[in-house]
Structure 1
Amino acid sequence: MQTRNRIPARMRVRGAVSPVVLAVMVIVLALAIAAWFLIVKPYRDANQGIAPVGAVAPTAAAAKAAPPVANVESLSVDQLLAEARKAMNEQRLVAPAGNNAFEFYMKVLEKQPGHPVAADALRETFPFGATATEQTINQRDFGEAQREIDLLAKADPENYTLTILRSKLDAQRKTLDREQQAALDQQKQQQLAAQTAAAAAKQQAADQVAEAQRQQVAREQAARLAQQQQASAAVVGAAKPAAAKPAAAAGGDGDAISDAVLTKQVRPRYPTAAMRANQEGWVDVELSVDGQGVVTNVSVVDSQPKHVFDRAALDAVGRWEFKPAMRNGEPMPVTLRRRILFNLGR
C-alpha cells in the first residue's frame, strides 16, 4: 500500500507532464497555427496597401507630379494591387485622377468582385481619402474636389462623410461667390470713387478756367468802363459859360468884338460805372475855338470827383461846333471855359 502511493508522488516530484496537459498544449498550438494562416496573414496582406493611421494627405504638388499609369485596363490584379500599394506609400489616395489608390482598388473589384484585400483597403482607407478631399475643398479646387467626392461615393455610397464633404464643398463655393461679389463691389466702388475724383478734378479745372475767363472779362469790362468814363457819358446838366479870354491882345475901346456862339452841343454819355454807383459831379474844361468855329485843344481844368467824368466830358466837348468869335467883322480864335454837369436828374 505504501509502495503504490510512493510511485505517483515520485513522478510528480520529478516534473513529469500528464497526458491531459500535453493534449491541451497540442490543441492550443494547432489553433495558433490556424489563426496565423486564416486571420493574421490575410490581414497583413491587406494592410500592405493601407495607409497608417495619421497619414498625411498628399499635397497638390505631389499629386500633379505623379504621371498617369499607362494601360490600366491591361494590368492584372496583382499589378493593380502593387500600383495601389505604391500609391498608398506615396500618399496618392484619391488624386491625381487615374493614378491613385482608390481607383486601383476599385479596378481590382471590377476584375474580381468581392476581392477581400481591395474591399478591406477601401474600407480602411476611406477616412484618409475623405481627409484628402476635405483639404482639396479648403484649397478651393472645386472641380477636383467634386471628382474626389464622386470617387469616394463609388467606394462607399452610403457613408455619411460624403454628406459632410458635399456640404463643405457647397459652403466653400458660396463663400467664394460672396468673396468674389464683395471684391467686385469693392472694385466698382473704387471705380466710382476714381470717376468721382476725376469728375471733381475736371470740374475744378473747369471752374478755374471759368474764373480766369471771368477775371479776364472783368478786366476788359473795367477797361471799357474806363474808356467810357473818358469818352462817353449821359449829361443831364447844361454847360455854363465861363469867362472868355480873347486869344489875341485886347483891342482898343473902338473894336467891335462878339463871343463865339455854340451852334452844336453834343451831350456826353454818362459813365456806366458812375451810374451804377449813383455818382454825380462836374468837369471844368478849357477849349480853343479857331476862326472856322472848330474846337481844338480841349483839356480838363478841374473836376469833381476826380477822373470819373473827365473822359466823357472831353469826348463830348471835342465834337462841339461854334460860330466863331468876331472882331470888327473878322473871325478870330478864342479860348473858352465850360463846366459840364453830370447828374441823375433828381
Structure 2
Amino acid sequence: MPTQTRIPARASVRGAVSPVVLAVLAIVVALSVAAWFLIVKPYRDATQAVTPVGASAPAAGSEKAAAPIANVESLSVDQLLAEARKAMNEQRLVAPAGNNAFEFYMKVLEKQPGHPVAADALRETFPFGATAAEQTINQRDFPEAQREIDLLAKADPENYTLTILRSKLDAQRKTLDREQQAAVDQQKQQQLVAQNAAAAARQQAADQLAETQRQQAAHEQAARLAAQQQASAAVTAPAAKPVAARPAAAPDSDAISDAVLTKQIRPRYPTAAMRSNQEGWVDVELTVDTQGAVSNVTVVDSQPKHVFDRAALDAVGRWEFKPAMRNGEPMPVTLRRRILFNLGR
C-alpha cells in the first residue's frame, strides 16, 4: 500500500470511539441512575426532615402535640419512615410516647436491622433528642424525662451524653426534694411562731383580766371600809351626848363583836401543784352577812399567781360564821383571810 494511502487510514482509526468504551460508559450511567433511585433519593427524602447542625432546638411543648398511634406494630417500613419524617417536621423527636421520630426509626430497625436510613437518622438526630430531654428535665417533668433518656439509651447506649443527662436529672430531683423540705420546714416554723404569739396573747389577756379584777376588788374594799367608817361614826356620835334616861349599863350595849368562824372547809390541793411540789398562799376578801353566810369572795393577792386561786375561792365560799354583832343585832362585815397551801413537809 502506498504511504499516502496508509496515513489517512490511521488518522481515521485514531479518531473513532471504541465500542468497548461505549459499553463501559453505558454501564456506568445505568449504575448511576440505579444508585440514584435506589439509594440516594430515599436517603435524601428520609434525612431532609432532620434538623441541620446549628439549628435551634425544638420549642418547649411542641413534641407533645400529637396523640400516640395505636397500631404502630401494623405499619410497614415505608409507613414507619413516613411517620418518622412527619414527626421530624413537627419536631416530635422523642415525645410524645408512641408518636415520635425516635420510636418510629427504632421500629424500622426492629423490622429491618441495619436499615441505613433509620440508623443514620437516629445517629444524626441524637443530639437534638438529648436537647429535648434536657428541656424536659429543666421543666421538672421527671417521669417524662426518664422515659426520654431511656429511649435515647436504646438508640445509642454508649453515648456519653446519657451520663450527663442522668446526672442532671438526679441533681434536679435532689434540688426539688430540698426545696420541698425547706417549704415544709418554713411552714412548720410559721405555725410555731403563730402558736407562740397566740399563747403570749392569751397569757397577756389573762394577766390583764386578773389585774383588772384585783383593782376592782381593791376599789370595792375601799368603798366598803369607807361605808363602815361612816356607819360607825353615825352610831357612836349620839352616844357622846348626855342622856338622862339612859341606864348606867348603856355603854356596854354599844359594843361590836367580830364574826366568829364556826365551820371551816379545807381547800383542795391542786393536782398540778402537788405533782410539781408547789406551795403558796392566797389572800381573799369575803363578806359575812347577818346570817353568818359567806359571799363576795375575791382574791386580793396570791403567790404564785393563779395556781391556788380557784381552790381557795371554792373552800372559803363554803365557810360559815357566827355573824358580827352591834348593839346586840347582827350586822354584815367584810373580812380578809390568808389561805396557806403547803405539803406538810
The residue aligned with 1:302 is none
Contact 2:257/2:325 (<8 A) preserved? no
Which residue of structure 2 aligns with residue 112 of structure 1? 112
Kept in 1: contact 2:64–2:92 (CA 8 A): no
The letter for the 1-side match of 2:252 is K
The CA deviation string for residues 181-219 of structure 1, in whole angstroms up to 9 with x for no partner, is 111111111111222222222223222322222222222
Q: Which runs of 5+ in 2 are unaligned?
A: 234-238, 259-323, 329-345
Would the alpha carbon gap of residues 18 and 185 (structure 1) be closer, same or farther in structure 2, given more than 3 Å must change? farther
Q: CA deviation at 1:221?
A: 2.1
Q: Does 1:78 align with 2:66?
A: no
Q: Which has the larger radius of gyration?
A: 1
TM-score, normalising length: structure 1: 0.59
Provide the rounded CA distance (Å) in 2 between the counterparts of 1:259 and 1:75: 137
Structure 1 match to 2:97: 97
- Report the TM-score, using the length of structure 2 for normalisation: 0.59
Q: Does 1:208 align with 2:208?
A: yes
Contact 1:149 1:165 (8 Å CA) reproduced: yes
Equivalent in the alignment of 1:319:
327
Summarize the Cα distance change of 1:184–1:220 in structure 2 as closer, same or farther, 3 Å threshold: same
- Give the equivalent residue in structure 2 for 1:57: 58
Aligned mates of 1:177, 1:18 — CA distance in 2: 85
Q: Does 1:264 align with 2:260?
A: no
Amino acid at match of 1:124: E
Mapping 1:133-282, distance limit 5 Å: 133-230=133-230, 245=242, 260-262=248-250, 264=252
Task: Give the direction of change, closer, same or farther, for the CA distance of 1:71–1:247 in structure 2 (3 Å limit).
Answer: same
Counterpart residue number, 1:293: none
Write the deviation string for residues 260-314 of structure 1: whole angstroms up to 9, x where unpaired: 45562655589xxxxxxxxxxxxxxxxxxxxxxxxxxxxxxxxxxxxxxxxxxxx
Structure 1 letter corresponding to 2:58: A
Question: Deviation per CA, 1:73-126, whole angstroms, max 9, x where unpaired?
Answer: 100000000000000000000000000000000110111111100000000000
| C-alpha RMSD over aligned residues | 4.1
Q: How does 1:5-44 map to 2 (within 5 A)?
A: 34=32, 37=36, 41=41, 43-44=43-44
Change (3 A) 1:55 1:164: same
The alignment of Structure 1 onto Structure 2 pairs a total of residues equal to: 241
Q: Does structure 2 conserve the Cα–Cα contact (< 8 Å) formed by 1:45 and 1:117? A: no
Q: Where in structure 1 are there 5+ consecutive unaligned residues?
A: 12-16, 234-240, 249-257, 271-315, 321-346
Q: Secondary structure at the match of 2:161?
A: helix
Secondary structure of the equivalent of 2:170? helix
Question: Which of 1 and 2 has higher RCO (CA within 8 Å, sep 6+)?
Answer: 1
Consecutive aligned runs of 4 or more in structure 1 exceeding 3 Å deviation:
33-43, 227-233, 244-248, 258-263, 265-270
Amino acid at match of 1:111: K
Aligned counterpart, 1:253? none
Contact 1:50 1:124 in 2 (8 A): yes
Amino acid at match of 2:327: R
Q: Distance in 1 between matches of 2:44 and 2:251?
A: 142
User: 3-state DSSP class of the match of 1:264?
Assistant: helix
For 1:6-48, what per-residue CA distance to the aligned partner results, in whole angstroms no more than 9, with x for missing partners?
Answer: x9xxx9xxxxx999xxx9xx98x959x8497497546424413
**Pair 1:100–1:41, CA change in 2 (3 A):** same
| AA matched with 1:264 | D
**Displacement after TM superposition at 1:222 (Å):** 1.9
Q: In the aligned structure 2, how far is the partner of 1:129 from the partner of 1:317?
A: 107
**In 1, Cα distance between equivalents of 2:42 and 2:243:** 152
- 3-state SS of the aligned residue for 1:94? coil
Deviation readout 1:321-340 (Å, 9 max, x if unpaired): xxxxxxxxxxxxxxxxxxxx
The 3 A distance-change label for structure 1 pair 115 and 317 is closer
